[in-house]
Structure formats: structure tokens, C-alpha cells
Structure 1
């Protein structure tokens, strides 16, 4: 059996946010129906200035696939010192029948898409149907992914955003307004939204 190797660009070309939202919703239903075996994750905190690495494992009975994700974060010196991101992820897929390794793929994009999709599934199922406003506390990459995902399930007309970094908040406002044409109100406090 051959092992497929997928780089980040290849992963990006194979999936869309809409597909990920549908898959995350299916995964929640499968987990709730006891079709998923998912032990607690294991994490290792490394001595400063380094961060941590987590290992997450699951088995989905319906498609006989075992997945393992290794994801790191908090390695803030990485870009300058090592020329790699401060957080990275890798996903391994195994055939559940033979335990043969069937795929190794970059997990950074999938992690972002999955987290955004989880927010979208929550909005789809729990938000009032006439909701049109979104509030984001924090305006980094995950906030952007959340807006991309939520826009697939809700007609967003206005975004309120706060971040402890005024520069990050200003970039978020410019980027989101440019990408979606949705006005972003920058909050001066996370308490009152204004």
C-alpha cells in the first residue's frame, strides 16, 4: 500500500470551507452516536522559550480510518531563528483494517479550517435565525477563519471586533472589509463592545 504525501498547497487545492463545515457537522453527529473512539490527547510542554506539542488521536468506525494529529504552538522564535512558523501541524491517516499508513499531510490549514468550521456549525445550530452581527474577541488568524466559516452559514452584515493589539485589530478590519465588504467596528474594550 502506498502512502500519499500532501503538502499545504495540495491540501488547500483539495478542500473548501463549505466541505469542512459539512464534515465537522458529520463528525459531531458521529461522536455523539458513539461512532468515534477518541482518547484524551497528550501534550508535552518544552522548556522556554519553546512552546508545546500536542498529539490527538481518533478512530472513525464508519470509514475505518484512524487519524493522528501532531500540532505545536508557542514556538515564537521559530520564524526568526529556524525559518518556520511558530506553530505547525501534521496529520497521519491509517487504514483501520490493516493499520497501514495511508496519508501524511500538512495539518496547519486543516486545523484552521476545522476550528472555523466548528464555530460555523455552532452558529448554524444555535444562533437566532435572524442574527446578522458577529463579535470577535481577538483578531488573529483564527478570528479570520471563523469569519470565513460563519459567512458560509449566516448572512453577516456587521462585525464587532476587539484585540489587545491595535495594529492587529486595524489589519483585521482592513482585511475583512476588503475580503467580504462587511463593516468592522473596532471596540475599545472587550467589556462594552464600543
Structure 2
């Protein structure tokens, strides 16, 4: 059984290639039970931690399972807020084939799932990308989005400006102007695509700020208590999700509007299965506001892990 560390995972998963691998995975499908979600009490911590266990398999191919811990206060101790491990098994025998760095796998597949959605939902002529948040996922989201649209300007907003500036310095190889912004409202009003990767419990993106034709990509919130966009954004947008079962159960950006009656299940126009199989129309016009809510699915992990193992075998 091989152990594949983070650097090799990143090298094996180029953004454009993984986006197409995910597209093929959603067309093909697989067995993906809802992930198990456990709160972990931490002495002296108000936030505590979260343990996620995510299995998926395709008969005759592979079984995969990811165990991820999410500890929001970890950065204060110099640790990432998300830590995890992925194990890939042979589905014909049950024998383990590889243990893969789960953080690197998650960063790449999450970013590429958002870019996959954007390939259907963002305007073809989108020029300005706003990144809300400057955590470990943010640079991967930026690079993945740039793999599907030719952005000329990338703006970064974060509560801690220094973190945004440090991230901007690592993106100078991109063929786009990079700027750190302080006024989130002004940046939101100008953006063609907005990607959010925060752990916020209060909305950051307001629907009244969105211009016609904007695509909103919500990635960070993964519990019913988290919000990155307000009700006005949900009401104005054509809403899409990665998976209906996961997003409608776990994502506060949808759970709360569903509970209040602002959003009905039938208002969700499609998921990544629908989009990739051409069973749901994506963007319907240049003036339509689109919104994609991602909570992650183990099918993405499985597709990425297979790609990593194939790359290592080659």
C-alpha cells in the first residue's frame, strides 16, 4: 500500500485536468452515502471541532473514505483548520491501495468542483473575479476559476488584510491584475464572479449588491449555522448545488431559507449531476444571477484519488 504525500497529490491534480475528471465522474455517478458529521467538544474552546467521515464507491472499481477534522481555531496555533486523510481500496477485493494526504486532495477537488460549476454558470465573458476569504482554499479556488474563464482582474478581500496581501504575492504568475480590496460592497458590485471560502456565520455577500449577470460561488459554509450570502442573494439568484441531499441538509445558505419558506426545494434548478449530464440548463442569459452552493461530496474525492493513484502508477 502506497502513502502519497501532499506535494505529490498537488502535482498529480492539475486544475484543468481535474475539472474534466470531475465532469466525467458526475456523468458516471456512483454510490455516495451522506457523510457522517460529528461535533467534537474541545476543552477551553467555544467553537470545538467537527469530524466528517465521507465514503463513496463504484462497484468493480474503487472504494474510498475520507476522514476530515475541521477546527476553526487551529490557525491561532499555526495549524490548518482542515486536516484529513483519504484511504483508497480496491472495490473487487476490499484491499487498501493507497493512503493519500486528505488536505491536499480536498483543496484541489473542492476548488475544481466550483470551477466545474462555473463552466456552466459564469458568464463566458466574465473578467473580474472577487475572492472573499484568504485561507488555504482561496488560492486554489482562484486558480481553478482561472482554468475555465479568462479573468483579467482578481480582487481579494479578507478581514485580515495582511493575509490577503500575503496570498496575492503568491499569485503573480497569473495572467491577471491582482488587487487586495478593503471595501467588500464596492468589490461585490463590480465583480462578474464571486467566490467565498470562509467560516462566517453572518452573511458577507448581500443580494442588493449583486449586479446583473454575476455568478456567486459559495464554498465555505458546511453547517446549518453558517452563512456567506444573505436571503436577498438567494432570492435573486438561480440556485444550483453540488448535491441536493448534502446542500439542503448541511448548508446554512440553503437550510435557513428553506426553513423560512423563502426557498422551496423545487427552486433549486439543478446539481452537478444534472449540469454534467445536460439534464438541467445552466445560465439562461447574460443578465441572470446564478449561485452555486457547495458542501462537498465524496464522489469528488474518489475521482481525485483515482487520478492521483493513476498518476503515481505512471
Please indicate the TM-score interval, normalised by the length of the shorter structure. 0.7 to 0.9
Instruction: Give the count of matched residue pairs.
Output: 184
Q: In structure 2, what is the equivalent of residue 191 of structure 1? A: 185
SS at the partner of 1:191?
helix
Q: In structure 1, what is the equivalent of residue 18 of structure 2? A: 20
Shift of residue 116, structure 1, vs aligned partner: 0.9
Report if aligned partners of 2:84, 2:101 keep a CA contact under 8 Å in 1.
yes
Q: TM-score, normalised by structure 1?
A: 0.83
2:55 equivalent to 1:57 = yes
Deviations 1:64-97 (A, max 9, x none): 21110111121635884xx864431111111112
Shift in alpha-carbon separation, 1:175–1:7, aligned structure 2, 3 A: closer
Q: In structure 2, what is the equivalent of residue 126 of structure 1? A: 121
Deviations 1:144-169 (A, max 9, x none): 10111112222110112221111112
Q: In structure 2, what is the equivalent of residue 72 of structure 1? A: 69
Task: Report the Cα distance in structure 2 between the residues aligned to 1:66 and 1:190, rounded to whole angstroms.
Answer: 42
Task: Report the Cα distance in structure 1 between the residues aligned to 2:163 and 2:110, rounded to whole angstroms.
Answer: 20
Q: How does 1:1-194 map to 2 (within 5 A)?
A: 3-31=1-29, 36-48=30-42, 49=45, 50-61=48-59, 64-74=61-71, 76-77=73-74, 80=77, 85-176=80-171, 178-193=172-187
> Higher relative contact order at CA 8 Å, sep ≥6: structure 1 or structure 2?
2
Instruction: Structure 1 unaligned segments of length 5 or more: list them.
Output: none
- Aligned-residue Cα RMSD (Å) equals 2.3
Q: In structure 1, what is the equivalent of residue 226 of structure 2? A: none
Report if aligned partners of 2:10, 2:108 keep a CA contact under 8 Å in 1.
no
Task: Report the Cα distance in structure 2 between the residues aligned to 1:53 and 1:132, rounded to whole angstroms.
Answer: 38
Report if aligned partners of 1:79, 1:86 keep a CA contact under 8 Å in 2.
no
Shift in alpha-carbon separation, 1:182–1:67, aligned structure 2, 3 A: same
Q: TM-score, normalised by structure 2?
A: 0.53
SS at the partner of 2:186?
coil
Q: In structure 1, what is the equivalent of residue 211 of structure 2? A: none
Q: In structure 1, what is the equivalent of residue 204 of structure 2? A: none
